[in-house]
């Protein structure tokens, strides 16, 4: 359930865009009549309406995520705060300026912020951020933790570049498909690959027989 909650804004962005993409004239009228005060000039055209509506939905969904966590008395992850700030600022710019470029940059900036956090923790504070996050569940040699940490840094850097390549080389519809299926799919493949790597290096706990 947690993974569905975490990815809910992406699912809603995708669903809203696809719904509005098939009804561009209606989407333009709806956005202009009800959301014109959020847009420079007050009028939304059919070509831009789907991504503007989807952007507004993802902003509201991310705000709702944070609110639900706070109401439940739990701590909001730092990266969720970062995501909220990015989607609000860049999404707001997309809506106001009628320019989808801002929201297309948001995933890349978020990937790079995460990669930078992993890297700075390692080189400046001598702290392995990945180990700090999941070290209680796994016992691994220090060298393995370091390789895993830098693997995530490289993955985040790659995903940020790949997002921009798709955003600037293909249509917005293709980018939206990539944002859901490509982004989540590549994350899943990378995680599974790391799982296989980790399984070869997990150290047995006290009292356990050594792994063969």
Structure tokens at 143: 């060298």
In this predicted model, what pLDDT tens digit does every residue of 85-127 receive, in sequence order? 999 999 999 999 999 999 999 999 999 999 999 999 888 878 8
Is the pLDDT reported for residue 26 higher than 50?
yes
CA atoms of 52 and 176, how far apart (whole Å): 13
Half-sphere exposure of 81 (CA within 13 A, CB side): 5
Q: How far is CA 79 from CA 20, 24, 38, 46, 121, in A?
A: 29, 34, 27, 34, 15
* First CA to last CA distance, the chain: 34
Is the pLDDT reported for residue 205 higher than 60?
no
Q: Report the pLDDT value the prediction gives residue 152, as an integer from 0 to 100.
A: 93
Q: Report the pLDDT value the prediction gives residue 29, as an integer from 0 to 100.
A: 96
Q: How far is CA 19 from CA 27, 50, 156, in A?
A: 9, 8, 30
Is the pLDDT reported for residue 131 higher than 90?
no
Helix, strand or coil, per DSSP, at residue 85? helix
Report the share of the chain in percent with pLDDT over 70. Answer: 94
Is the pLDDT reported for residue 33 higher than 80?
yes
* pLDDT band, residue 69 (cuts 50/70/90): very high
Q: Which of 180, 182, 186 lies closest to 15, judged by CA? A: 180
């Amino acid at each position: 359930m947690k993974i569905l909650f975490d990815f809910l804004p992406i699912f809603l962005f995708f669903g809203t865009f696809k719904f509005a993409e098939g009804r561009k004239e209606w989407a333009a009228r709806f956005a202009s009549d009800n959301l014109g005060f959020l847009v420079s000039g007050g009028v939304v055209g059919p070509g831009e309406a789907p991504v503007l509506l989807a952007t507004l939905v993802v902003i509201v969904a991310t705000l709702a995520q944070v609110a639900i966590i706070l109401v439940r008395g739990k701590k909001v992850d730092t990266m969720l705060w970062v995501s909220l700030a990015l989607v609000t600022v860049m999404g707001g710019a997309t809506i106001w300026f009628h320019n989808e470029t801002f929201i297309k940059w948001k995933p890349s900036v978020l990937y790079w912020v995460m990669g930078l956090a992993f890297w700075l923790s390692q080189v400046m504070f001598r702290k392995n951020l990945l180990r700090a996050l999941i070290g209680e569940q796994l016992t691994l040699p220090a060298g393995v933790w370091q390789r895993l940490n830098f693997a995530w840094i490289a993955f985040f850097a790659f995903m940020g570049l790949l997002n921009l390549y798709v955003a600037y080389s293909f249509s917005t519809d293709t980018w939206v498909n990539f944002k859901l299926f490509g982004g989540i799919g590549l994350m899943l493949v990378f995680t599974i690959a790391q799982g296989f790597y980790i399984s070869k290096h997990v150290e047995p706990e006290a009292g356990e027989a050594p792994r063969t």
